Structure 1
Amino acid sequence: MNSNSGNDKAFLNRLTSIVEANLGDENFGVSELAQEIGMSRSQLFFRVKSETGKSVSQFIREIRLSKALELLKQSKLTVSEVSYRVGFGSPAYFNKCFHDRFGFPPGEAKNQSDSESDSVQHLEKSNRTKVTIRQPSILIVVSVAIIVVIGSYLGYQTFSKNKSQNELSFAPKSIVVLPLKNLSNNPEIQYLAGGIMEDILTRLSYIDGLIVKSRISSEKIGSENLTAREVAKEMDVEYLLEGSIIPEGEKIRINVQLISAKEDKHVWANHYDKDLNEILPFITEVSSQITNQLKIILSSEEKEQIQKVYTENMEAYRLYLEGRFYYQLRTKKNFKKSIDLYNQALALDSNYCLAYAGLADSYITSTWYGYLPVKTGLPLSKTFALKALKIDRNLAEAHATLGAIATYFEFDWDTAEKELKMALKINPSYARAYKLYSEYMDVIGNKEMARQYIDKAKLLNPSYTNLYSMSFHSYMWNGELDKALEESEKIFDLQKKETNFLLRNFRIRLLQDSIPQAVDLFIKWWSAYNPDEDPAFIEEIYRENGKEGFLRFVAEDYKKEKGIRVELAEFYALIGETDSAIIILKDLASEKGKCASIKYDPFLQDLKKDPRFLALLRNMNMADD
């Protein structure tokens, strides 16, 4: 063993001893362990992550669970007594964690562990001792051979008989849920058209093994009047769920149909005449029908998610759907309207966890867009996310929001990973959680994992430009500049915004030190904002003052056009104006969320030795020392 391996083992052994010494203290966590070991939380996080692949909280939890298994095997303590002995404040949560870790409930630990211990001891003994085995008799050999032949025949017959059914049950399946077409002239119906199908989509996305394509992509394609086969090719799915909605007197008529996209034929169709009060039963009914038609075998948890009723108050549900509709429009005015609608829903049902999760989303996104100050939006978002989880701890949306807050605003890397992993565990087709987890991985410098998760998000939502923007930045941060340029082209194809395209490619050319091409791209970008002015003077600045003079002009002009952003610090850093870059980063750091990714920003690498930059990293729990 080399010295590094020995040091690593000694370090982990010391951590384990500290945790075991505080085993009964349920409040002993990451902060307490960091203090005991004499490290910052960030130092401890990165050290444990690099040596075990686990977060610190997971490392602590697994020590608690291993001790629990030992106690259950060797003592007469009850499960509840053991859970408290190893620092779990809730026996129910202990049962869940124990089962997740070992694959069986704690009540069966004694039997399970006895058999496992015998097996392990036998294997270890076999490895240490040379064993002499007598030759089996001819009778035994013949008997075993006959049993094997009969067993193989029966197994083959069973397999042949059930092969078709099993293939249908377990083959991977994919579906896109298109928004209902509003066949009326009433725009007020539109939020129902989108909201109903979004609810169905969300329920289906909880099913492990079913790939459910997201609503943002389906809305784009739904507006293009493509055939089912064309949508299947565009979205890379096997099935589509589509339909229409139209008011008829006091009721609404909803037609829905499930289509096999590859064959372009109907698998199932139905129509419903419903009062608004009957919308929720309709949604759970359609969700169940789809799983039946696709022959998907559901776990008890998946059945519960599909049939879950979050509120019995139909008016509260309607207000929630309308709030989601306005939230998706992503403007200051519509964020405010969505908040008002969620609050109205909660006035009717104060235990409506989805409405709390909606408030959390609206507040944190408004803060990210700069519509609310951090000191206002952040605590409100976190409060409402926690309220949602207090009502239903299996709400992926609220866990994802807490993960985003921990990443961008609190720089709490352990919590960020825990919350985002939980969101993905609860909802394995949740594109937003994959995107946020990819961003988290990029921020902490795990480029390989960042790529895996953003690619998964793109698979689930192949037409959402924000995912390609994240992918572009991931390639750029990782030095894969040619791939970043390719991704920039894809964003342009989806978004058709030339100014954004020019600015993205301008930054890539700067990293490639292709200054003449960068100058040309910047002039085109500048001309789009100043169509009545001659940009020839910019070329003159470059000719007379070179790269440094050009980038100084770029920084001043960018500041006037875009305000204080990380890109401004990047421009100053490239020409060695460290003081200006640091001042901008400090300004951004005071408004948390604006500079979480600066540690691995390729434009800022020359700042890494500056004590002021290192101080910023320490404040973000990202310092190496």
Structure 2
Amino acid sequence: MQNWTTEIQELKNYYKSLSGKIAALEKELERLIKVEDEIGVLVSSRRCLEVIVTDICEKETIGFSETIALKGKIDKLRKEKKVPSHIISSMLNLNTISTYGAHPKEFDSRQVRTVLINLITIIEWYLSYKGEESLSSKKKSVIDHPGELITTDPEQKYLKGEATKKPSRLKIWKIATYFSAIIIIVLGILYLINKTERIKDIPGLEKSIAVLPFENWSSDKEYAHIGDAMTDELILQLQYIEDFDRVLSRTSTLQYKDHKKPIPIIAEELGVSYIIEGSIQRKHENVSITVQVIRAINEDHIWAEEYTGKWKDIFTIQDKIAKQVAEELKAVLSPKEVEQINKIPTENIEAYNLYLRGRFFWHRRTEKDLNKSIDYFNQALALDSTYALAYAGLADTYFIMGWYRWYPKKEAYSKAKKYALKALSINKSISGAHATLGAVYTYHEWNWKDAEEELKLAVTLNPNDAPAHMYYSELLNILGKNTEARKQIDMALKLNPHFFIYHGLSAAYYLNNAEYKLAIEESLKAYEVQNRYYYMIDILICYIKLAMNEKAIDHIKGIISINANNDHEMLDKIYQKSGIEGVIYWFIDWNLLNETTDSYTIATLYASIGDSEKAIIYLKKYMETDGNLISWINNDHHFNLLKTDPRFQAMLKEMKLEE
């Protein structure tokens, strides 16, 4: 049974009251009150909203491109302050839920009533805006007692069915004043109750947040980076608030830039309870930022605000936003957190501009872009030599450059350590600098004690720092602390559930625990996002360990089909004659011939079939080329057969990993 009959009846009354006064809205309302299915109601309600919003924009001469979405128009009305904030909230709610008309399997039928209630609220205000008399202004003021009708209408002559005298003007004025006061008080109380209801915690609802990439309305190409930059800055501010269970990293939400998906679907995919959206516009030295917080479970826009000011005051604006988000989500800020939020990273606003550009290119992670980021970070430091975050940016960049050999490895790691230490000498609370330093100690210096201290400190300072959890998990895995490594990579996955590297690491840790089916699942997730070859090798080894030989052979056929299709029958013959070992020997030769992978992977394949001699030879080759993952052999279960080999023990001793 429809649970929105009452709302449709009220909209019918609005339709009758218009009677040619606002033709466009009257036309859409006529369609709306005739439809009976849920999807039709959503679509027609949205059309009514489009008519209203477009009319207001035209009347207020607010320009916009023909292709701008309805939400963009609403945001412009909010930015121009042409519509009260509570009506903007209703518009945003209606717009968000009504989009489900195009996704009939992705909404709750109870939300249809929410759409209609929002539409009634908007129409009521819109009629007043247009100078038309609303239905509510025509209604008599009624107190619901049986048989009683009390009214301030001087023409009303009956009370309990008895004739009464017409009251004097003075009496009417007193009665009106009295009731006005009561109404104001009641409305005030209802507002406070409503606000409390909107922001109170829903029992069991996790305070997990995803900040979607901010829309950039700046027309100047000079500010093309500013939307992503503000997203980063807000995430960083919120990540330091302990009362929030999780604040997802930027890489997890980047895929939703210019998104078309409904908010609840995004929240479900990311596993969060709250979504934050925003926009920024910078024009010369002026800046305007809009932010809204949405509770995904019931499509409630619990808070929206616009902040305007001078760019030189951007740190103050950011502080206000972070504190207001905390307040709206009822997070209690400690004095330490307030101090962290209030902390100004640099007194030089131009240095800050350069730093934001550096981070913008850093996120792109290509050799060319990382070189650009180094240049911008150095320019920022030329203006402010005490800018800790710029030093931390250099440390991050050089570490990545060294890892991918885009910069001489030893020199890159040395620079990464130097700049991380410099950043921490200025500001000890930068979790990213501790994480980078811990990664250098892990992969360059094999300084296990200091690595653990730095990485533990990094995740303590910022429990929402996904890369810090990743680096810490890798260290723990190397040291054979499998349970703790699992906890850290799971935390990284909660903060960034779609990042392929985290799924790849998770697969490797499952392999080390002989949990092969789970390892296959995680490897497939990683490969689906980024088709890196070693994920396919991990899957193959899992099949071998599970004695699923036919699956293993089919898997190899799938791999070699990329290069050749005519070896499939030969593989079947090899398997019939020499078993799975013969197939793997052939596959190793195929990899060496086609140069598909590194010596570590070749050693792994040899170890999977028990050829310890060949495995140790290729491990030594990998170590001689200064392979990044050589320290992993300490806890890589593939190489358990090598534990007593003096050559293997010598390698561990060189890395300070001997028992």
Q: TM-score, normalised by structure 2?
A: 0.65
Deviation by residue 1:24-74 (Cα, 9 ceiling, x = unmatched): xxxxxxxxxxxxxxxxxxxxxxxxxxxxxxxxxxxxxxxxxxxxxxxxxxx
Which residues in structure 2 correspond to 1:160-309 (within 5 Å)?
173-183=207-217, 189-210=223-244, 211-248=246-283, 251-309=286-344
Q: Is 2:581 the counterpart of 1:548?
A: yes
Task: After superposing the two structures, state which structure 1 stretch, 414-423 or 458-467, moved more.
Answer: 458-467
The more displaced of 293-302 and 415-424 is 293-302
Question: In the TM superposition, what is the alpha-carbon distance from 1:513 to its structure 2 partner?
Answer: 3.5
Rate the CA distance shift 1:347–1:249 in 2: closer, same or farther, 3 A. Answer: closer
Q: CA deviation at 1:449?
A: 1.1
Shift in alpha-carbon separation, 1:170–1:504, aligned structure 2, 3 A? closer
Residue in 1 that maps onto 2:526: 491
Letter in 2 for 1:462: P
**Change in CA separation of 1:498 and 1:535 when aligned onto 2, cut-off 3 Å:** farther
> Retained in 1: the 8 A contact 2:464–2:495?
yes
Q: Which moved more, 1:357-366 or 1:462-471?
A: 462-471
What letter matches 1:176 in structure 2?
A
Q: 2: CA distance between counterparts of 1:510 and 1:217?
A: 33
What is the CA-CA distance between 1:538 and the residue it aligns to? 3.9
Deviation at 1:193, TM superposition (A): 0.8
SS of 1:306 mapped into structure 2: helix
1:536-585 Cα distance to aligned partner (Å, 9 max, x none): 44444444444333323322332443343411111223344434322332
Once residues 582 and 307 of structure 2 are traced to their aligned partners in structure 1, the CA distance between those partners, rounded to angstroms, is: 68
Return the offset for 1:614.
0.6
Map residues 506-525 of structure 1 onto 2, 5 A cutoff: 506-525=540-559
Q: For 2:198 and 2:283, how far apart are their aligned partners in 1?
A: 43
Deviation (angstroms), 1:271: 2.3
- Give the corresponding residue for 2:355: 320
Moved more, 221-230 or 363-372: 221-230
Contact 1:564/1:584, CA 8 A, preserved across alignment: no
Per-residue CA deviation, residues 331-383 of structure 1 (Å, 9 max, x unaligned), is 22222221111111111111111111111111111111222332211111101
- Are 1:409 and 2:444 an aligned pair? yes
Secondary structure of the residue aligned to 1:383 is helix
Question: 1:481: which partner in 2?
Answer: 516
Bigger helix fraction:
1
The AA in structure 2 aligned to 1:284 is D
CA distance in 2, matches of 1:376, 1:570: 29
1:330 aligned counterpart, secondary structure: coil
Corresponding residue pairs, total? 461
Deviates further, 401-410 or 482-491 = 482-491
Equivalences for residues 412-491 of structure 1 within 5 A: 412-491=447-526
Give the secondary-structure state (helix, strand or coil) at the position aligned to 2:623. Answer: helix
For 1:443, give the aligned amino acid: I
Q: Is the 8 A contact 2:273 2:296 kept in 1?
A: yes
Cα distance in 1 between the residues matched to 2:523 and 2:627: 27
| Equivalent position amino acid for 2:239 in 1 | S
Q: CA deviation at 1:189?
A: 3.5
Query: Which amino acid letter does the alignment assign opposite residue 296 of structure 2?
Result: A
Map residues 28-107 of structure 1 onto 2, 5 A cutoff: none
Are 1:588 and 2:622 counterparts? yes
**In structure 2, distance between residues paired with 1:444 and 1:470:** 15
> How far apart are the structure 2 equivalents of 1:588 and 1:341?
35
Query: Secondary structure in 2 aligned to 1:310?
Result: coil
Q: Percent identity?
A: 36
Q: How big is the shift at 1:408?
A: 2.0
Preserved CA contact (<8 Å) 1:251 1:275: yes
Deviation at 1:498, TM superposition (A): 8.3
The aligned amino acid for 1:460 is L
Q: Deviations over 1:121-161 (max 9, x none)?
A: xxxxxxxxxxxxxxxxxxxxxxxxxxxxxxxxxxxxxxxxx
User: 1:239 touches 1:259 (CA, 8 Å); kept in 2?
Assistant: yes
Q: Structure 1 residue 188: deviation in Å?
A: 5.1
Q: Which residue of 1 aligns with 2:590?
A: 557
Return the alpha-carbon distance in structure 2 between the equivalents of residues 471 and 382 of structure 1.
27
CA distance in 1 between partners of 2:220 and 2:491 (Å): 37
Confirm or deny: 8 A CA contact 2:467 2:492 kept in the other structure: yes
**Aligned counterparts of 2:460 and 2:618: Cα–Cα separation in 1:** 38
Question: Aligned equivalents of 1:436 and 1:256: distance in 2?
Answer: 32
User: Displacement of 1:489 after TM fit?
Assistant: 3.5
Supply the distance in 2 between the matched residues of 1:517 and 1:432 (Cα, whole angstroms). Answer: 34
2:602 to 568, 584, 598: 568
Q: Which residue of 1 aligns with 2:370?
A: 335
Unaligned runs of 5+ in 1: 1-161
Structure 1 residues 342-361: aligned runs within 5 Å = 342-361=377-396
Deviation at 1:191, TM superposition (A): 2.2
Please give the per-residue CA displacement for 1:61-117, whole angstroms capped at 9, x wherever unaligned: xxxxxxxxxxxxxxxxxxxxxxxxxxxxxxxxxxxxxxxxxxxxxxxxxxxxxxxxx
Letter in 2 for 1:453: Q
Shift of 1:602: 1.9
SS at match of 1:429: coil
- Structure 1 equivalent of residue 102 of structure 2: none
Q: Distance in 2 between matches of 1:599 and 1:372?
A: 27
- Is the CA contact 2:574–2:582 (under 8 Å) kept in the aligned structure 1? yes
Residue 515 to residue 172, structure 1, CA distance change in 2 (3 Å)? closer
Matched to 2:364, the amino acid is: L
- Kindly name which structure, 1 or 2, has the bigger radius of gyration based on alpha carbons: 2
Change (3 A) 1:539 1:252: farther
In 2 relative to 1, CA 278–558 (structure 1 residues): closer, same or farther, beyond 3 Å? farther
- 1:503–1:525 Cα contact (<8 Å) kept: no
Whole-angstrom distance in 1 between the partners of 2:243 and 2:505: 25
Deviation, structure 1 residue 414: 1.1
- Structure-2 change in CA distance of 1:578 and 1:221 (3 Å): same
Task: Identify which of structures 1 and 2 has the higher relative contact order when contacts are C-alpha pairs closer than 8 Å and 6+ apart.
Answer: 1
Q: Are the aligned partners of 2:527 and 2:536 in contact in 1 as well (CA < 8 Å)?
A: no
Q: Deviations over 1:485-523 (max 9, x none)?
A: 222343345x16386654332121122243332121112
Distance 1:369 1:186 in 2: 34
Q: Could you tell me which residue of structure 2 aligns to residue 391 of structure 1?
A: 426
- Aligned equivalents of 1:355, 1:397: Cα separation in 2: 12
